[in-house]
Amino acid sequence: MKHLISPLDLSIEELDQILTLGQSIMKDPQKYAHVCDGKKLATLFYEPSTRTRLSFEAAMLNLGGSVLGFSSADSSSAAKGESVADTIRVISSYADICAMRHPKEGAPTVAAMHSGIPVINAGDGGHNHPTQTLTDLITIKTLMGRLDHMTIGMCGDLKFGRTVHSLINAMVRYPGVRFVLISPDELRIPDYLRQEVLIDGNMDFVETKDLEKYMPELDVLYMTRVQRERFFNEEDYIRLKDSFILDAAKMQYAKKDMYVLHPLPRVNEISTEVDKDPRAVYFLQAKYGVYVRMALIMTLLGLEDSIC
Ligand code: CP
């Protein structure tokens, strides 16, 4: 049984198969409408979510399956002190697969150790968010036709932003990828990622506070919000929250064929005036998240070859 806890749980070949299947679903979703008839997805969300939970639910419903679950720790027996291990043992007899979001890093790993069904990490603390990475990759691949040989800028909260950590881990596996990491000093990527993934992996990267300077070099700009819920004090959040605001004036420095991605939710790091720029693809990205989650559910349930 396979789980998805980190993007590295998938080989490049498996990743490419999921993205290819997601693109096939995108072209003809109706063809897949009964692949998961009779199957159930449990969504165990101990932390708030709009896109990840609802896109997982939409994905399973689109495949003909059913969904059950909870959307906050308060509405589950976690509020009475039940452990993740006990919860997943029980859910394993209610559902065929589950997606779990938890504020504590490693909680989905613990769940996978005690689970009788595939566990998908839907975001654990500031650690990983592999299905957002699948969403990001299918967006880039669909729009640009490739995942290699590009300069990707990542801007905002690179310290706490788990989507950034997962995307770096995934993109380093493709040749010719250069990273421009744009953040205030306090929100630079974690040391382990810089040392073990970028430096030890001989990756081409630069860390900077100057978005405008590097804007003309970027093929993709991945904007992120400052993660208020992970700060220890409100003063630091208020001081840092508006460090980078992408607006129409800054977009003038960008290539004509650069794409702006954002995992969403947005707070104010992208001005709404940018939404009408054809290079702004974050809402399309959220839509593509459903197709790639359909592909992931099919793959983890062993149904990826059920439609020829
Ligand atoms: N991108 C993302 O994880 O959004 P939600 O927090 O709304 O699920």
Determine the pLDDT at residue 236. Answer: 80
Determine the pLDDT at residue 203. Answer: 98
Residue from 46, 47, 52 whose mutation best tests the ligand 1 pocket (most atoms within 8 A of CB): 52
Please indicate whether residue 263, judged by its CB atom, sits closer than 6 Å to ligand 1: yes
Distance, in Å, from the CA atom of 181 to the CA atom of 214, rounded to the nearest integer, reads 10
Q: Which two tokens stand for residue 150?
A: 């590009």
Could you tell me how many helices (H) and strands (E) the chain has, helices first?
Answer: 11, 9
CA 134 to chain centre: 6
The sign one gets for the Cα dihedral 85, 166, 285, 263 is positive
Nearest CA to ligand 1 atom 6: 49
Please indicate whether residue 306, judged by its CB atom, sits closer than 6 Å to ligand 1: no
Query: Strand 177-182 and strand 119-124: pairing?
Result: unpaired
Contact 156, 243 (CB under 8 A): yes
Determine the pLDDT at residue 239. Answer: 81
Q: How many Cβ atoms from other residues are within 10 Å of residue 303's Cβ?
A: 15
* pTM higher than the cut 0.75: yes
Q: Helix or strand or coil: residue 269? A: coil
Q: Which atom of ligand 1 is nearest to the CA of 129?
A: 3
Residue type, 82: E
Please indicate whether residue 132, judged by its CB atom, sits closer than 6 Å to ligand 1: yes
Could you tell me the distance, in angstroms and rounded to a whole number, from the CA of residue 202 to the centre of ligand 1? 31
Could you tell me the distance, in angstroms and rounded to a whole number, from the CA of residue 163 to the centre of ligand 1? 10
Determine the pLDDT at residue 243. Answer: 85
Q: Which two tokens stand for residue 113?
A: 């150790």
Q: Which atom of ligand 1 is nearest to the CA of 264?
A: 1
Tens of each residue's pLDDT in the chain, 308 residues: 899 999 999 999 999 999 999 999 999 999 999 999 999 999 999 999 999 999 999 999 999 999 999 999 999 999 999 999 999 999 999 999 999 999 999 999 999 999 999 999 999 988 899 999 999 999 999 999 999 999 999 999 999 888 999 999 999 999 999 999 999 999 999 999 999 999 999 999 999 999 999 999 999 999 999 887 777 788 887 887 888 999 999 999 999 999 999 999 999 999 999 999 999 999 999 999 999 999 999 999 999 988 87
Residue type, 117: I
Nearest CA to ligand 1 atom 3: 52
Q: Which two tokens stand for residue 174?
A: 């493709």
Residue from 44, 45, 47, 51 whose mutation best tests the ligand 1 pocket (most atoms within 8 A of CB): 51
Backbone φ and ψ for 117, nearest 5 degrees, come out as: -130, 160
Distance, in Å, from the CA atom of 304 to the CA atom of 308, rounded to the nearest integer, reads 9
Q: Which atom of ligand 1 is nearest to the CA of 101?
A: 8
Beta bridge partners of 180: 153, 206
Looking at residue 228, the DSSP 8-state letter turns out to be: G
Please indicate whether residue 49, judged by its CB atom, sits closer than 6 Å to ligand 1: yes
Residue with tokens 């997601």: 22
Of all helices (H) and strands (E), which one includes residue 241? Answer: none
Q: Which atom of ligand 1 is nearest to the CA of 263?
A: 1
Q: Which atom of ligand 1 is nearest to the CA of 55?
A: 8
Buried b (16+ CB within 10 A) or exposed e, 116-155: ebbbbbbbbbbbbbbbbbbbbbbbbbbbeeebeebbbbbb
Nearest CA to ligand 1 atom 1: 263
Could you tell me the distance, in angstroms and rounded to a whole number, from the CA of residue 106 to the centre of ligand 1? 18
Please indicate whether residue 128, judged by its CB atom, sits closer than 6 Å to ligand 1: no
Residues with catalytic annotation?
51-52, 80, 101, 129
Distance, in Å, from the CA atom of 256 to the CA atom of 272, rounded to the nearest integer, reads 19
